[in-house]
Chain A
Amino acid sequence: MVDTAKLYDAVLNGDHKTSAAITDAAIAENLDPQEMVTKFMIPAMDEVGRRFENEEYFVPELLLAARAMKASLDKLRPLLAARGAEPTGKVVIGTVKGDLHDIGKNLVSAMLEGGGFEITDLGADVTPEKFVAAVEKTGATLVCLSALLTVTMPAMKTTIEAFVKAGLRERIKIIIGGAPVTQQFADDIGADAYGASASSAVAIARKLVAA
């Protein structure tokens, strides 16, 4: 019988081969996929986030853990969907128009996914129209906007304005982040929150969803 508790260690240690193998074995034994997510995967990614915040983990460790988490989650996702499992929340995420930088955005995306959120990742250089269309299509209630460049920060404001124009602004919460972004800027452009790091984004997202 597979020791599913080892999934926690595999994700925490960034061992994607082990996380995939445990998941395959668990599926073969018909174990509850939701329990694997809530009992092992989410706590493991929470611990990854805690270590990142405490500077015990850094970007490489975060990427490795995210890969191990995805190796398992990709196998579990169809089973979760079949059982009608509800995510913590639905998120649309992307780097705004004109900006091709996606490392930070990918880290946030992975941490949110590891936190139980359903992610629609639109990639980089995303137009306001694409953000709006994705929210309309998925029914997401959270939108995460990323920018690395000072010259693309105004596109965050444009994107928020597009949600207002589409009549969706009241339905969603918007989190912004990226190296040059600040709380002040978030306040100035009417975002709901500013995420200073990948792990803090998860806490903020949970808070906004619960609000």
Chain B
Amino acid sequence: MNEPSATQESRRRLQNALAHRGGALPLDFDGTAVSGVHVSCVAGLRRHYGLEPRPVAVHEPYQMLGRIDEDLKQVLGIDVEGVYPPRTMFGFANADWKEWRMPDGLVVLVPGDFRTTTDAEGNTYIYPEGDLSVPPSAKMPAGGCFFDSIIRQEPIEEENLNPGDNLEEFQPISEEDLAYFRQAARDAVRTGRGVIANFGGTALGDIALVPAPFLKHPKGIRDVAEWYMATRSRTDFVHRIFDRQCEIVLGNLSRIHAEVGDAVDAVFLCGTDFGTQNSSFCSVDSFRGLYMPYYRRINDWIHGNTAWKTFKHTCGSVDRLLPSLIESGFDIFNPVQCSAARMDPEHLVSAYGRDLVFWGGCVDTQKTLPFGTPEQVREEVLRRCEILSKSGGLVFNSIHNLQARTPVGNIVAMLEAFREFNR
């Protein structure tokens, strides 16, 4: 790995954006698992920029996000450094790297405990903690690019539902993990970039986490549809989970803050999606009754005890929920899905630009980036940056991760347009 660039300019850029002070836009890619880049695109960018040919490490194997190494970060001019949780979505650490061949033939690096099997149809199965003796927790279809959870739902006995079963993954942080975060935050701040950390355990009912692909034998409600229904039909049960989760989380955050302090600028709190393409997943009343009290507890503690800004990811059409998200105490909104209903960027800036930092939204990843021309990408990036930067708080990122098979020429066009705007 190359030596990091020692300048603090990157961190200042991020801090300016987080404080709505405007100025040059900071660039994030790979800072979080919702602002990352598919491994195939990272490989394509390395080739495009003539960097040392080597397999790219997959450090978020669920979505197959590629790690952007220091040499590529410097070429791209990335301003944000991510601190990831100590273990991946499949419950193993990013350690003991080994080569693995993607279904399309691309050779990548994966952690040593990334253990898979393949069936006769070419589907790939991955195992929690790399334990081949238990059922697989996710599947990548033949020819696919990502994993998706396999639902492992034990029969639900309504009268015996125990919130503790859905809390197995939320535990007081270990000394080992504290040491991990202390070191990771130190390494991150040394780069001179702004730092965003995901300490884990803070997401309330994130549907990607409900099936618990990291657990060997998940109990409780783990089926996606059952969970969604539970948010209406078993609200007492969900309240008890969130309440206990909050207690655990606040204890953990207190201990983590004592270790990492102000090395961290922002914390990724929650990736629960509240929006669909055309609407929201729940009513405003449901959000305020079921989620907001717990979000407020977490945000209030963070704002009362740290200098961290808090990051909320939710895809989709969430215009009607944004006032409640602001009231919940969130500072940063991602991925700013302008392509969803009622998410026009000019409206978002005028309605919420004083209260929320927009982290993303700078180019559409459903149409323009994968299917448009480089010129269409450039035009959209320049237009979005012009509009969203009026808030004084814009972190450059696409709408969600750069997806597999996005043409590298379009990614490069996006990056060049970003630089053009920043000049």
Q: How far is the CB of B149 from chain A (nearest CB, A)?
A: 9
CA distance A100 to B139 in the complex (A): 8
Residue ID in chain A nearest B403 by CB atoms:
A150
- A-B contacts, CB under 8 A, total: 74
Main secondary structure of the interface of A (DSSP, over half): loop
Q: How far is the CB of B151 from chain A (nearest CB, A)?
A: 10
Residues in B with CB closer than 8 Å to A103 are: 224-225
Binary CB contact string for chain A from 47 to 73 against chain B (1 if under 8 A, 0 otherwise): 000001001101111011001000000
Interface: B278 (CB within 8 A): yes
Residues in B with CB closer than 8 Å to A59 are: 228, 276, 281-282
Interface: B324 (CB within 8 A): no
Binary CB contact string for chain B from 109 to 123 against chain A (1 if under 8 A, 0 otherwise): 000000000000001
B window 68-113: CB within 8 A of A: none
**Set B143, B225, B279, B365: member contacting A55, Cβ < 8 A:** B279
CA distance A151 to B231 in the complex (A): 31
Interface: A101 (CB within 8 A): yes
B232 touches A180 (CB 8 A): no
A150 touches B225 (CB 8 A): no
Q: How far is the CB of B237 from chain A (nearest CB, A)?
A: 14
B279 touches A180 (CB 8 A): no
Interface: B405 (CB within 8 A): yes
**Set A14, A60, A101, A180: member contacting B231, Cβ < 8 A:** A60
B148 touches A151 (CB 8 A): no
Interface: B367 (CB within 8 A): yes
Q: How far is the CB of A86 from chain B (nearest CB, A)?
A: 30
A180 touches B141 (CB 8 A): no
If A125-B141, A151-B403 touch, whether A67 touches B286 (CB-CB below 8 Å) is: no
If A151-B403, A179-B366 touch, whether A58 touches B148 (CB-CB below 8 Å) is: no
CA distance A63 to B225 in the complex (A): 7
Interface: B233 (CB within 8 A): yes
**Set B123, B225, B280, B403: member contacting A149, Cβ < 8 A:** B403
A window 97-155: CB within 8 A of B: 97-101, 103, 106, 125, 149-151
Q: How big is chain A's contact interface, by range?
A: 20 to 34
If A63-B229, A151-B404 touch, whether A196 touches B224 (CB-CB below 8 Å) is: no
If A58-B282, A60-B282, A180-B366 touch, whether A14 touches B232 (CB-CB below 8 Å) is: yes
A179 touches B232 (CB 8 A): no
Interface: A197 (CB within 8 A): yes
Interface: B323 (CB within 8 A): no
Residue ID in chain B nearest A58 by CB atoms:
B282
Residue ID in chain B nearest A54 by CB atoms:
B279
Q: How far is the CB of B148 from chain A (nearest CB, A)?
A: 4
Interface: B277 (CB within 8 A): yes
Residue ID in chain B nearest A184 by CB atoms:
B367
B403 touches A179 (CB 8 A): no
Residues in A with CB closer than 8 Å to B278 are: 196-197
Residues in B with CB closer than 8 Å to A55 are: 279-280, 283, 320
Interface: A4 (CB within 8 A): no
A14 touches B233 (CB 8 A): yes
A106 touches B281 (CB 8 A): no
Residue ID in chain B nearest A106 by CB atoms:
B225
A180 touches B225 (CB 8 A): no
Residues in B with CB closer than 8 Å to A56 are: 283
Residues in A with CB closer than 8 Å to B281 are: 58-60
CA distance A182 to B364 in the complex (A): 14
- Which one of B123, B229, B366 has the highest number of Cβ atoms from chain A below 10 Å of its Cβ? B229
Residues in A with CB closer than 8 Å to B279 are: 52, 55, 58, 197
Residues in B with CB closer than 8 Å to A97 are: 141, 143
B405 touches A151 (CB 8 A): yes
If A103-B224, A150-B403 touch, whether A60 touches B141 (CB-CB below 8 Å) is: no
Residues in A with CB closer than 8 Å to B276 are: 59, 179
Binary CB contact string for chain B from 140 to 166 against chain A (1 if under 8 A, 0 otherwise): 011111101000000000000000000
Interface: B261 (CB within 8 A): no
CA distance A161 to B225 in the complex (A): 32
| A-B residue pairs in contact (CB < 8 Å), sample of 27 | A14-B232, A52-B279, A55-B279, A55-B280, A55-B283, A55-B320, A56-B283, A58-B280, A58-B281, A58-B286, A60-B228, A60-B233, A60-B282, A63-B225, A67-B229, A100-B141, A101-B148, A125-B123, A149-B403, A150-B370, A150-B405, A151-B145, A151-B403, A151-B405, A179-B276, A197-B278, A197-B279
Given A55-B283, A56-B283, A103-B225, 5 further pairs, Cβ under 8 A: A52-B279, A58-B281, A59-B281, A151-B403, A179-B366
A-to-B contact residues, CB < 8 Å: 14, 52, 55-56, 58-61, 63-64, 67, 97-101, 103, 106, 125, 149-151, 179-180, 182, 196-197
